[in-house]
Chain A
Amino acid sequence: MIIRKSDEVSRSPVRRFPVPRNFGMDRQSRIGRGKTWPAPRGAKHVKAFDVYRYDPESGENPRIDRFRVDLDDCGSMVLDALFWIKDRVDSTLAFRRSCREGVCGSCAMNMDGTNWLACTRFISDLGDPARIYPLTSRSIIKDLVPDLTDAFAQYELIEPWLQTRSPEPETERLQSADERSRIDGYYECILCFCCTSACPSHWWNPRRFLGPAALLHAWRWLTDSRDEATEERLDALEDPFRLYRCHTILNCTRTCPKGLNPGKAIAEIKRKMLERRG
């Protein structure tokens, strides 16, 4: 019942909120039934995967296809299963991936109801059928590929680079070990947007609320001893929607595949705002 680390998989029997599957969805977003692909012949260990499909060229609504994966012929991670499906069953399945070891953040998606990286989630941790969806509450380009334009625009809005006013020193801008340690837990973010896509407040105000990923980065620069634009950064966040739409729900901290704490970063910003007001 007590979750210690974000990589622990929920065992609670409640898998969904009690709302209809297409509750409140736009006409173009409603999910229909897809096709069921045949099970591999002669396979001994088979697991069903229900995968969200959307083909922009078909003119049809998204659908759920059921694949059956031969676990003896496939690696142990969800990303391996997706590759297996793409190689053996349906080559049109689209998903992003790159490093396959939790470093790049490309394969972020929703598996059994929570956002995580497909390359670091064990197939054995998912139910049968495993439910594979794109990141939650995103405009979908194709299948498991979400449009992250807005997410990166929000990241850009917090100006994620070092800003200084003091004259450029002869050597590097130095930090003490203690000053450097203050950005620990914040600089490691890989921008997979698992957290922002998991935030209910961001679901309801996706444009005006910056979301946990962008705000975590905002704090990463606010707390950097070398950065001299603290006042301007705080000014840019002093807004009922950009920052204060965070209601400390903490789905972000629960879901971060790097074990970071966006919720805490946002609380730090709020406290800094309060200190500044005096």
Chain B
Amino acid sequence: MALIPLSLWFVASLIAHSRSSYGELIAWLKTPATVILMVLLLIASFHHTATGVRVIIEDYVHSSWRFAFVVSLQLVSLALAAAGILSVLKIAFTG
């Protein structure tokens, strides 16, 4: 449910920054509010992805592949969320 405001915030920001230069964008990504919201967005989206796609797999896959699919889905979701968060933190603290 937290995904509704977070994703709307992200879409609005994306529109606002559609003409921004690299420098402006980085400056925005470095503000503490952006960092916190972006990390929350990444966690919420990939949690939602992992649970949602898991239900889809359970619906359609009936072979012994089901378990392997679900596990790899969760690992991939975790890896993607981690990669996103690391990028955000890298921009915030170095960049």
Binding site for B on A (CB under 8 A): 201, 204-205, 240-241, 245, 247
Q: Which residues of chain A have C-beta atoms less than 8 A from B62's C-beta?
A: 204
Residue of A whose beta carbon sits closest to that of B54: A240
CB neighbours (8 Å) of B58 from chain A are: 240-241
Q: Across the interface, which residues of A come within 8 angstroms of B60, CB to CB? A: 204
Closest residue of chain B to A245 (Cβ to Cβ) is B59
Tell me the complex Cα distance, A204–B61, Å.
Answer: 9
B residues touching A (Cβ–Cβ < 8 Å)?
A: 55, 58-60, 62
- Chain A residues positioned under 8 Å from B55 (CB to CB): 247
Main secondary structure of the interface of A (DSSP, over half): loop
Q: How far is the CA of A241 from the CA of B58 in the complex (A)?
A: 9
Bound form: Cα–Cα A6–B60 in Å: 28
Closest-by-CB residue of A relative to B55 is A247
In the bound complex, what is the Cα–Cα distance between A204 and B60 (angstroms)? 6
A203 and chain B: residue at smallest CB distance: B59
CB-CB nearest in chain B for A241: B58
- The smallest C-beta distance from A117 to any residue of chain B, in angstroms, reads 29
Q: How far is the CB of A47 from chain B (nearest CB, A)?
A: 38
A245 to B58, CA, bound (A): 9
CA distance A116 to B78 in the complex (A): 46
- 9 contacting pairs across A/B (C-beta < 8 A): A201-B59, A204-B59, A204-B60, A204-B62, A205-B59, A240-B58, A241-B58, A245-B59, A247-B55
CA A247 to CA B58, docked complex, whole Å: 12
In angstroms, how far is the closest chain A Cβ from the Cβ of B73?
16
The residue of chain A having its C-beta at the shortest distance from the C-beta of B59 within the complex is A204
Tell me the bound Cα distance from A201 to B58 in angstroms.
11
